[in-house]
Amino acid sequence: MALPNPTDLAVPGFVALVLIEMIAVKLTHPQRYEPRDTLTSLGLGLGSVVSGVIFGGLLGGFALAVWQYRLFDIGWQWYWFVIAFVADDFFYYLVHRAGHRIRWLWASHVIHHSSQHYNLSTALRQTWTGAFSMGILIKLPLFLIGFHPAMLAFVGGINLIYQFWIHTEAIDKMPRWFEAVMNTPSHHRVHHATNPRYLDKNYAGVFIVWDKWLGTFEPERADEPPRYGIVKNLGSFNLLWSAFHEWVAIAKDVWAAPTLTAKLGYMLMPPGWSHDGSRDTSEIIKARWLQRQQREQQLGSDAWKKPISSSSAADQAAAPSPVA
């Protein structure tokens, strides 16, 4: 059954909304858009489309080959599309989480996080090397169950369209019931943040319930605005460097690694892992931050417990009373 590609149909709408947001935000918060950053995002989006045309057939052929060994024959009735959408979103969560925990997959996904701005153009900052990283392997159970690759590609496209609008600071919070179930701009701002509190949180595509169920949810806090980008920002708007910098870094690390185990570690362990412990993973960053938080809380608690000296008491007695 031939199905259209929803994302291809949505591209004109994406561009129009980016322009509308850019004009609106320029009048109120001009710092949220940086022209060079926006151009880089648009260039990465265009490159992703080209990459999809080149490699999409290979991935589709691989998926069809796996689908031949399916356990069930799932039809094309509308309700199967609904079930496929929910199932695909859960597996999107798994792929997305793996993309932050396995460096080989992170090398493709890091492109999406490399902007230090958060606006609708950031949503277009997509990978050129997704086929090479082979994250599709995590979705093999869906093909083996019996969902046709074309059906999954269709609902996956709708998933990506949904995710476009959540890349904005122009929307604060949605209604509480919506925030409880769905992914929103507030939830996804957390995901793009480098604050230690927010690292490796909110992997959801459409339904935030996966994060709440599996312990990776973190709400956005008004007293801690997100800082966007990656732990070590690129410091460049070079299009090719944005697309391939992590692959270059992996190649250098693997080449210099002293053992086979270390070489594999630089490909398969979380970003920031090193064979000698000289770098920081997100776990180390968060643990150090938590220790600092606990230390500051303890110091604050101890300050209240200190007895007031006689001179301090006299000073306080002489001090004027506060004006109501």
Kindly state the tokens that stand for 128.
């050129």
Average pLDDT over residues 187-193: 98
Sign of CA dihedral 291, 297, 301, 306: positive
98 secondary structure, DSSP code: H
Q: DSSP secondary structure string, 10-22? A: HHHHHHHHHHHHH
Q: What percentage of the chain's residues is helix, strand, coil (to nearest 5)? A: 65, 0, 35
How many Å apart are CA 206 and CA 291, to the nearest integer? 33
> pLDDT tens digit string along 191-216?
999 999 999 999 999 999 999 999 99
**Owner of token pair 């604060």:** 172
> pLDDT tens digit string along 109-145?
999 999 999 999 999 999 999 988 888 999 999 999 9
Q: Supply the pLDDT for residue 304.
A: 63
User: Does pLDDT of 237 surpass 90?
Assistant: yes
Kindly state the tokens that stand for 171.
């929307």
280 contacts: CB under 8 Å, gap ≥ 6: 231, 272, 288
Backbone angles phi, psi at 224, to 5 degrees: -145, 85
